[in-house]
Chain A
Amino acid sequence: MKSVPACCLLFFLFSTGITFGQVKYEKEYRLKAADVPPLARQFVDSLDFARRVRWYMETSEQGKSIEAKSKRDGQKYSVEFDPSGKLQDVEIEVAWRSLPEVLRTKIEQSLNDDFERFKIRKVQRQFSGERKEILNYLKQRSDGSGLTVRYELVLRGRKGRNTDKFEYTFSADGDLEKSAKIVFRNTDNLKY
């Protein structure tokens, strides 16, 4: 008999939970290659990825975007398009040590101003510009001088007693363009 109130409570929460779920709207989901705009697919096909390409659709309050993820020559690539298939940017994961020393020093100075301690977890070199120019650069047919290059860093930073994860974007010259704290998704269901 004691199980009856517990079942009623669960039923109540089931029904209220569905209502809670309609407040926030932000998601990312897998996309079949056949559903990707031809313009985007053509660009990615021309990059000759050896590995399988995974396509994602991202939907948020800011709108929609399409992203292709794959690997080429041991490097992780992320290519972003708008919903019509127009290229937005290409991000390539690179080693922190592969950046020029002058640039690293400048970025480190900037990070030292913000944190007592920090550890860089991920570095992505981001290219944006004309579709043809980006393709030529990635196919090593040009030096990419006409492209806009940025560096996106994911890092763990400590200020006082607080340690958090951040995303910092720097220009090709190492000037800080923007920074944001990364908010983790809820982990309660993994802890209890």
Chain B
Amino acid sequence: MRGAVLFFFCLLSTSLWAQSSYKAGLLPGLNINQKIAEYWRLNYKQESRLLGAEGRFSEPSPWAMQHSLTDLSVIASRKVGLNNSLAGGYLLRLEKGGPTHRLIQQYTLVSSYDGFRLAHRFSTDQTFSQIEAAEFRLRYRISLDLPLSGQTVDDREFYLKINHEYLNALSEGKYGLEIRLVPSLGYAFNDNNKIEFGIDYRFADFLSGPSESSFWLPLTWYIGI
């Protein structure tokens, strides 16, 4: 009996998975950080989304790379404590249907431990565009970076970084949850010059129907000036 129930659930989950859609592609990005005063910093970010494939798991589509969108953002932050900061900014999304505007507010807390660093990011954003209804999000992200040699990430060393994020979204009265997991391998040329490459897995819409999974390959360059 137990075997039959298990078989039924396996069948159900396989069927749900088959109905689920997916996207896959590349996420090249550039992240520039500038110190403008003792406690003030500016972050300029450019990230492009290059879509390689999309469809349903049951009907996989061939790989064909095309530009999907580009995000440009600027965020000003102020250090408000020993290891925490408040920030606010604006993001412009350029895509086929027209531009999208996003206002961002965030609070970050970074703690250093023996052998690793842990960061918590709490953020809210509001997104507006002419083609879609306004969207309001509440996000929480936990990040860990772990040196692969020694106790701190020194110059010319590799490190492992893991981001895990929960995004709660509200649009036209509908609630949606997206979960992200991004393990990355980083290399620090020096403290102000790092590159990270990983897998950005996003799992969304699973509360309201067939889920959507996204598999991106981010390649991000962090530069401090």
Contact = CB atoms under 8 A, between A and B. Distances in A.
Interface of A: 1-3, 6-7, 9-10, 13-14, 17-18, 20-21, 23-30, 56, 156, 162-165, 184-192
Contact of A56 (B46, B85, B112, B151): B151
Nearest to A165: B82
Interface of B: 28, 30-31, 33, 38-39, 41, 43, 45-46, 48, 50, 65, 67, 70, 75, 77, 81-83, 85, 87, 106, 108, 110, 112, 117, 119, 121, 143, 145, 149-157, 161, 186, 189-196, 219-224
Given A26-B154, A29-B157, A189 B196 contact: yes
A17 B108 CA distance: 27
28 contacts: A1-B67, A3-B28, A3-B65, A6-B46, A6-B48, A10-B221, A17-B189, A17-B195, A21-B156, A21-B190, A27-B150, A27-B157, A28-B151, A28-B154, A29-B154, A30-B149, A163-B82, A184-B83, A186-B191, A186-B194, A187-B117, A188-B31, A188-B33, A188-B224, A189-B220, A190-B117, A190-B119, A190-B145
B103 to A, nearest CB: 16
B121 A191 contact: yes
Given A163-B81, A163-B82, A189-B161, A26 B155 contact: yes
A180 B208 CA distance: 55
Contacts of B151: 28, 56
A18 B81 CA distance: 33
Contacts of B33: 186, 188, 192
Contacts of A187: 83, 110, 117, 119
A160 to B, nearest CB: 12
Contacts of B153: 185
Given A17-B193, A27-B155, A187-B117, 16 more contacts: A2-B67, A10-B221, A13-B223, A17-B223, A20-B190, A21-B193, A24-B190, A30-B149, A156-B82, A186-B33, A186-B191, A186-B194, A187-B83, A188-B33, A190-B108, A191-B43
Contacts of B83: 184, 187
A165 B79 CA distance: 14
A164 B194 CA distance: 25
A192 B194 CA distance: 13
A-B pairs with the 7 shortest C-beta distances? A21-B189, A27-B154, A190-B119, A28-B150, A188-B33, A2-B67, A29-B149
A189 B145 contact: yes
Contact of B221 (A17, A162, A165): A17
B207 to A, nearest CB: 28
Contacts of B193: 17, 20-21
Contacts of A21: 155-156, 189-190, 193
Contacts of B39: 162
Contacts of B48: 2-3, 6
A22 B191 CA distance: 11
Contacts of B117: 185, 187, 190
Contacts of B112: 184-185
Contact of A3 (B50, B155, B194): B50
Nearest to B118: A190
Contact of B85 (A18, A30, A191): A191
Nearest to B77: A191
Contact of A27 (B75, B108, B110, B156): B156
A98 B55 CA distance: 64
Given A156-B82, A191-B121, A192-B75, A185 B189 contact: no
Given A27-B155, A191-B77, A192-B33, A13 B45 contact: no
Contacts of B45: 192
A14 B221 contact: yes
